[in-house]
Amino acid sequence: MRHRVVTAFALLAIAGSVSACGSEGNSLQNAAGNEGKGARLFVERCSGCHTLDKVGAQGGAIGINNRERVDGPNFNVRKEDVETILYAIRNGGYSGAIMPENLVVGEDAQAVAEFLAKWAGYKRKVSAGPNS
């Protein structure tokens, strides 16, 4: 009986630590205004193919050796601006082969673009160039 109680507590401790993962993403999704709306829409519509740790999205490949045909860019390291993101949303990415066009439109597309432009590339390593 004691073994079962210890096992149950161990499982609860593991579950508690796992549920803390992505808590920053939860706070972004619960944020007020366009940032929260953009975060929620990104998770709903984009996270299946794109990675962005800020909201717990793990849809893209982390390494080239585990890449799949439907993997979109990893936005942890890829920086984008609002206009480029809106172009990709409207036109199905850049190749038009995988990403559906207009997954979000109008104000929703703007909210996603603003959210993603703010957070995309936040883990990118910027190397010092000769002009730095």
List pLDDT tens digits, range 82-115.
999 999 999 999 876 788 899 999 999 999 999 9
Mean pLDDT computed over every residue of the chain: 76
Considering the domain 21-119 in this protein, what is its CATH number?
1.10.760.10
Q: Model pTM greater than 0.85?
A: no
HEC letters along the chain: CHHHHHHHHHHHHHHHHHHHCCHHHHHHHCCCHHHHHHHHHHHHHCCCCCEEHHHCEECCCCCHHHCCCCCCCECCCCCCCHHHHHHHHHHCCCCCCCCCCCCCCHHHHHHHHHHHHHHCCCCCCCCCCCCC
